[in-house]
Amino acid sequence: MPYIHLRLAGELSREQKKQIVEEFTATMERVANKPREYVIVNIEETKEENWGWGGAMLDEV
């Protein structure tokens, strides 16, 4: 059972999330021959203020 965990800084709209889930699922089905009903996609959104990059907070870059 494929489990895909997408972690990102910021937020996505519901429509963006829906498209990502559809496309990740289709890719696993096409490339890895996995049945789409077994593909799990988890999207984790984190505020940019909770990420650091190159010694600075992402919301300040």
The residue with tokens 């999330």 is 17
Question: pLDDT digit string (tens) for 39-50?
Answer: 999 999 999 999
Question: pLDDT digit string (tens) for 4-61?
Answer: 999 999 999 999 999 999 999 999 999 999 999 999 999 999 999 999 999 999 999 8
- Domains of the chain, CATH where assigned: 3-60 (3.30.429.10)
For the chain, the average pLDDT equals 96
Q: How many Å apart are CA 40 and CA 49, to the nearest integer?
A: 28
Of 47, 37, 45, 41, residue with least CA distance to 5: 41
pLDDT at 61: 84
Question: The whole model's pTM is what?
Answer: 0.85
